[in-house]
Structure 1
């Protein structure tokens, strides 16, 4: 027993000697900063979760934005009533029965406490009944206030008993690429779904009426259409609208109508009953064409003016072919999509300052925007323009639209430079009337329109 105790005492003594020698000769010098009256720090435990900081924002997480947003995003159900035969027998004897079918669901964003809701036009198109379900599961019938198919924005309204939570429009012009965003909606009928991503690109053109979109990698799926894209402050910066997909589901990118464009559409609908669109009136070549590559337009840092529309704001301001547009107001433009995206937020009569490079000289030209004076009508694809007062007198008409371009398929009708005054018996006053009436044509029945030539002779064209 004494032998074991002796061995233990020797081991302890040896360890102490070794530790003392290491501390004295081998251990690195410890530097300690001591201030006067230094006290021992006290570490407190908090129940608040710790998150990694979100770049570009004082808020350290997405919780505030999500909580603010989910109650203002609604589930929209589009219901339609079909009337028609359900069997061959009914078709033969002309019997029709009514069938009620739900044909679409999507999302919407409450933008005022009294129940105005912005959504996508394609979510509520052709609906005979619209149902809106709030995040608290209350359901209301909604009425359509107005729509703008070209921007895919619609305004609907519900009458609720209480004031509703809503989102304020943010400034989409100030959105930065790389900024964190949340997409909130109802994909696959899963209510109040929040996904996160960043802004991948701005002013992304998808070939839709020269419209531009915010591009994000926040996951968006069928059912998200019409939902909110918000920044980390919970400000509405876009209305989720489209995805690029070969499967019908999200594969990496989604697109939203910028909030400034959606806000302008909503304000126009509420104030004027329709959407007033101001245009600059210039043409610029597509940069992916051989024409653009051969002339070096695809290497220009700005928008090359390849043509100026007659009687447009650009025409009045003497903007010329060959000018290169660098800025509009304070917005830098490098592509035609940048220009269109900004001008889309303006109305006819608004003035913008256009900074151009003309043969190396920098000019700032004020331009008053005007309504579009020409467009291609649906179905037939004719290019038409509004009549000037001189043309009305020349053709001896009070209203109508002049045909300025005819597709190859309809050249046999000799329509160039004639004036359309009716479509299927309905008067045509301007290009907007022409677009609406031609958009209602059916390829399954005969259609007609009346034209007037330079000599005042009238002719009725029938086609199918």
Structure 2
């Protein structure tokens, strides 16, 4: 046998030295603090997270097999109401919910809203159930901790962590409609995460995980929980969400202070138009790409969420005053919104 290579002895000495050297106290404390934050958040929400199994019958007249799928959801009330994604449960013939403790329930669809990719289910549990606390998305800041829980690829109770990467995004849903006020995060999501909660460091739900961009890394999206709260109230009241729609896609933008002063604007931000649907109310009313919407009927529009709230059913079919900033002008345009389904 040949002599022992000298680098083996060097490696052995380096390994022994690394084992003998304690981790710097500061680094260990930082890692422990982060870990404890994530663990504490999970302890508050994890028991509310559910795995959803979906069955869909073959179309009438077809001899094809029953199709299946899976997704995620979470309980938001103690009496069995869950929030999930519309695309997870839409068109289902049967829904089966498995809770964190392994209990399995048949679920009923209360209502869904493809425009925000949200749906509400209910299970018939007789006992009081662990449920998640809904937080507030309006106060989110880019860079804060974001934790996703769900069933990616069927692996229930999977946890990933990251940060809020951006706010106020617009995203085209699987149905082709635009979802507004979307949170971008780098907490890893995969097929099956859809419908699960995105939570903050306090364990409060700040978004409903919705989508990824295939082929991209660390670019994932969740519908903001403030939008979800409004959708929930509409589904409980009417079984569906009825909205006015003008046919645009937009994004939140800040408004420079000098522009605010010059035009006497009440808001520090608005909605920049990124896309105008050909033949839609916005196009017919003269709205253009790069216009910034700052008010509707004299009420401030400081972002996508405000725009959605103001475009309610009361504005369908009647002339609505849009105030926009276009380059060096403040303009008033009259648009007549239609019901959103008509543009689907």
Q: Does 1:235 align with 2:204?
A: yes
SS in 2 for 1:255: strand
* Per-residue deviation, 1:342: 3.5
- Choose from 49, 64, 78 the match for 1:73: 49
Q: Spell out structure 1 runs of 4+ moving beyond 6 A.
A: 304-307, 318-323, 327-331, 352-355, 367-370
- CA distance in 2: counterparts of 1:116 and 1:369, whole angstroms: 38
In structure 1, what is the equivalent of residue 239 of structure 2?
273
- Choose from 190, 193, 203 the match for 2:168: 203
- CA distance in 2: counterparts of 1:203 and 1:63, whole angstroms: 28
Q: Does 1:187 align with 2:152?
A: yes
In structure 1, what is the equivalent of residue 113 of structure 2?
148
* Residues 180 and 127 (structure 1), Cα distance of their counterparts in 2 relative to 1, 3 Å cut: same
* Residues 66 and 358 (structure 1), Cα distance of their counterparts in 2 relative to 1, 3 Å cut: same
In structure 1, what is the equivalent of residue 39 of structure 2?
63
- Choose from 138, 141, 150 the match for 1:173: 138
* Per-residue deviation, 1:358: 7.4
SS in 1 for 2:109: strand
* Per-residue deviation, 1:205: 2.4
* Per-residue deviation, 1:253: 1.5
- CA distance in 2: counterparts of 1:284 and 1:195, whole angstroms: 30
- CA distance in 2: counterparts of 1:258 and 1:188, whole angstroms: 23
- CA distance in 1: counterparts of 2:314 and 2:69, whole angstroms: 38
- CA distance in 1: counterparts of 2:156 and 2:179, whole angstroms: 29
Stretches of structure 2 that go unaligned for 5 or more consecutive residues are 1-27, 252-269
Stretches of structure 1 that go unaligned for 5 or more consecutive residues are 1-48, 86-95, 287-300, 333-337, 376-431, 440-464
- CA distance in 2: counterparts of 1:81 and 1:319, whole angstroms: 45
Q: Does 1:251 align with 2:217?
A: yes
* Per-residue deviation, 1:243: 0.7
Q: Is the 8 A contact 1:228 1:239 kept in 2?
A: yes
Q: Is the 8 A contact 1:119 1:225 kept in 2?
A: yes
Q: Does 1:103 align with 2:79?
A: no
Paired positions, count: 287
- CA distance in 1: counterparts of 2:335 and 2:51, whole angstroms: 37
In structure 2, what is the equivalent of residue 344 of structure 1?
308
Larger radius of gyration: 1
* Per-residue deviation, 1:171: 1.9
- Choose from 112, 117, 124 the match for 1:159: 124
- Choose from 77, 82, 85 the match for 1:112: 77
- CA distance in 1: counterparts of 2:90 and 2:82, whole angstroms: 15
Q: CA RMSD in A?
A: 4.3
* Residues 195 and 271 (structure 1), Cα distance of their counterparts in 2 relative to 1, 3 Å cut: same
In structure 1, what is the equivalent of residue 229 of structure 2?
263
In structure 2, what is the equivalent of residue 325 of structure 1?
293
In structure 1, what is the equivalent of residue 184 of structure 2?
215
TM-score norm. by structure 2 comes to 0.68
